[in-house]
């Protein structure tokens, strides 16, 4: 029984079509320019880039909302100017306390 199975296995293993297909699979998985490992790495990079795209799209939406608020509301514009550019009225004194420098 073992000898018959072994003979069939040898016959299949020495078949030229089987060997050609096996060589093609090995070549395409490991030696080709688009081998399996490179494709896995590119898929991971693509997932990271898609995550960055979704994050940046939310940032764009937030900035557009903030821009619309600045263009329509004078109080928001004044608050933005005071916080980011340290603008003040003429009769005011502004004290800036740096807490991040510690």
pLDDT of residue 31 exceeding 70, the answer is yes
Supply the pLDDT for residue 85. Answer: 87
Model confidence over 62-79: pLDDT tens digits? Answer: 999 999 999 999 999 998
d(CA 54, CA 58): 6
Backbone phi and psi for residue 55, each to the nearest 5 degrees, phi listed first: -65, -45
Mean pLDDT of 23-46: 87
**DSSP class of residue 14?**
T
Number of residues assigned to the chain: 102
Model confidence over 45-63: pLDDT tens digits? Answer: 999 999 999 999 999 999 9
* Predicted TM-score (pTM) of this structure: 0.54
């Amino acid at each position: 029984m073992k000898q018959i199975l072994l003979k069939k296995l040898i016959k299949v293993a020495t078949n030229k079509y089987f060997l050609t297909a096996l060589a093609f699979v090995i070549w395409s998985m490991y030696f080709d320019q688009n081998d399996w490992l490179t494709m896995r790495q590119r898929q991971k990079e693509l997932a990271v880039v898609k995550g960055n795209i979704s994050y940046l799209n939310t940032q764009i939406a937030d900035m557009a909302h903030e821009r619309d608020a600045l263009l329509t509301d004078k109080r928001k514009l004044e608050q933005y100017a005071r916080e980011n550019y340290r603008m003040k009225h003429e009769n005011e004194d502004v004290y800036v306390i740096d807490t991040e420098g510690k």
